[in-house]
Chains A and B, each alone.
Chain A
Amino acid sequence: MRHIGAGLGLLTLLGAARVAPVAAQVCAGLPSLRERPFRVTASAASYTYATALGVSLTAGRAIYGTLGFGRTRDSELDANTYPLSLEIGADIPVGAHGVFLCPVVSGAVSFGPDDFELMQESFRYEDWAVGLGLAAVVMRARRISVLVAGSVRAALLTGTYWPTGYKAADGDPGSSQTGNYWLASLSVGIELNQTVTLRPGVTVPFQVTYPADAWFASPFGRKPEEISLGVAVSIGLGRRSRAVK
């Protein structure tokens, strides 16, 4: 049922896509950086076992980079991890129909949880991903713009844990495992007055695979195949350059 719902959403969004001139960040479901060179975004997402909050700063033009920091909390396990991420992407026009191809690479290091389950063990996650997506502007009026973006990423995740308080000079008692998964995302960006953007969206991790019993080599707080809702609020900053025609 969930898959059908997501498929319907994707078809509806593709059907709604329209031609419009834009620049970088459509692929992220956000307006162009040509009009405001910087963008600050606050985001929240609800997963099956956790909630995620984050802030990020984006800069660039045809190619953009986003530096993000956040917190993901699994309240049942009283466990927090703090991801620090860097994402680099581009909006590549495909033909003259306002559709964009969206290559993206990203890397994130997540610190924590510490003293996980009172076991005096600390965790760190390294998550590398490469992906491709499609994006388009649905509508562009004087006060409101609507953008849609969807992508699929292949991710490699390494989870490592070691005794809390461990010092590198003591040797290497850590244990690492690597898993991989795919992440599909779909978002709608609604920009108001060319300044504030509200971007609801969904993400779905799928084909989550990791070595037996190495549960820590899977996305923290997430359930495979879950469709989770997220929302972001973004504000464009900096001087306004000449509008794109």
Chain B
Amino acid sequence: MSTAARSRGVLLRAGIASAVLLAAACTDLFGPSRTVRPVMATLAITYLSATSGIMQIVASPADTAFRLGSGQSVPIEITTSSGDREASALYPQYCPVPMRGWHYTCFEFDFGTRSDVSWQSVNGYVAGIGGRIKTWLSNLHIGFVVLFDLDDQVSRARSALSWPGVTYVELTPPPFCADDVGNCIDWSTLTRPVYVEAGSPHPGDGTLQVQSGDTVTVVYRQPGGGTMQAQSIVP
């Protein structure tokens, strides 16, 4: 066999080896699935306010050992009696997934301000990072912000440090567990805040348009067939 032919053969084998290496490294691209459907035990709308523009959905899988992987979500559908329809998805209630830092509440952060700062003066900044103020404790000068996606949650919260009058920012911690209670947090819990606004329906635009008195329905399709749903009436 000539030197050139031998070189070509070896090069071919090296090429195959590289391809196998790349394929092995890229298995993450093909799995795990980004959408999963656990058997759900409960589904609820825990907060709905057209005034603050927020609806929050919370669900609990039947298996409390259930954990969503990074990038995974659980699909749901949302409809209103006035005709809006949105596809959405549930994510873990507590981040990060899995544990590689202190746990905090996904989609939320809170901040404190000087006493001369009003919620109106920071509202524009909150909207600027894609969030809305859920609660404003005027006596304590503390605001609780809801974000509507998990992208860059930490860096968006960090940006609040530059807002005028803000004295601190924190990622909202999970509920405090007393030592004698042990693990009081259900890490399998799923949640999703949804944008809400008053108005006529625009199905599929990512925002839930509602009118006072509307019935909002959240539907989850169980993996074995059948559905679970939660309803709430817009105040």
The contact of B101 among A1, A75, A117, A144, by CB within 8 Å, is A117
Asked if A99 is at the interface (CB within 8 A of a chain B CB), the reply is no
Q: Which residues of B contact A42 (CB under 8 A)?
A: none
Nearest chain-A residue to B111 (Cβ)?
A: A118
* Nearest CB in chain B to that of A18: its residue: B10
- B24 engages A6 (CB within 8 Å): yes
- Are A12's CB and B154's CB within 8 A? no
Q: A148 to B150, alpha carbons, bound, how many Å? A: 40
Q: Decide: B154 and A139 in contact? CB cutoff 8 A.
A: no
CA distance A177 to B28 in the complex (A): 30
Distance of B104 from chain A, by nearest CB (Å): 6
A200 touching B21, Cβ below 8 Å: yes
Q: Which of B21, B99, B152 lies in contact with A188, CB distance below 8 A?
A: B21
> Which residue of B is nearest A50, CB measured?
B100
**Is A62 an interface residue when CB atoms closer than 8 A count as contact?**
no
Residue A206 lies at the interface, judged by CB distance under 8 Å to chain B: no
Q: Residues 94-134 of chain B: 1 if any A CB is under 8 Å from the residue's CB, otherwise 0? A: 01101111101000010000000000000000000000000
- Distance between Cα atoms of A188 and B104 in the complex (Å): 41
B178 interface contact, C-beta 8 A: no
Instruction: State how many angstroms separate the Cβ of A177 from the closest Cβ of chain B.
Output: 14
Q: Which A-chain residue is minimally distant from B4 (CB atoms)?
A: A141
Q: Is residue A165 contacting chain B, with contact meaning CB distance below 8 A?
A: no
Contact of A9 with B154 in the complex, beta carbons under 8 Å: no
| Other-chain contact of B170, A116, A118, A146 (Cβ < 8 Å) | A118
Q: Are A117 and B102 within 8 A (Cβ)?
A: yes
How big is the A interface, by class?
Answer: 35 or more
A138 at the interface (CB under 8 A from B): yes
A186: chain B residues at CB < 8 Å are: 21
What B residues does A146 contact at CB under 8 A?
A: 10-11, 14
Nearest chain B CB to A107 CB, angstrom units: 23
Contact B22–A200 (Cβ < 8 Å): yes
What's the minimum C-beta distance from A125 to chain B, rounded to whole angstroms? Answer: 13
Contact across chains for B17 and A188 when beta carbons are under 8 A apart:
yes
A16 & B14 in contact (Cβ 8 Å cutoff) = yes
Contact with A along B146-163 (1 / 0, CB 8 A): 000010111101100000
Q: Kindly identify, within residues 50 to 108 of chain A, every residue whose CB is under 8 Å from any CB belonging to chain B.
A: 74-79
A215 cross-chain contacts in B, Cβ below 8 A:
99-101
Query: Is B21 a contact partner of A118 (Cβ separation < 8 A)?
Result: no
* Complex A-B, nearest 8 residue pairs according to Cβ-Cβ distance, in ascending order: A5-B24, A229-B25, A16-B13, A78-B155, A78-B154, A9-B20, A139-B10, A12-B17
Of the A-B pairs whose beta carbons lie under 8 Å apart in the complex, a sample of 20, sorted by A's number, is A5-B23, A5-B27, A9-B17, A9-B21, A9-B23, A12-B16, A16-B16, A48-B28, A76-B96, A78-B152, A78-B154, A79-B154, A118-B109, A139-B10, A139-B14, A148-B17, A186-B21, A188-B21, A190-B14, A202-B24
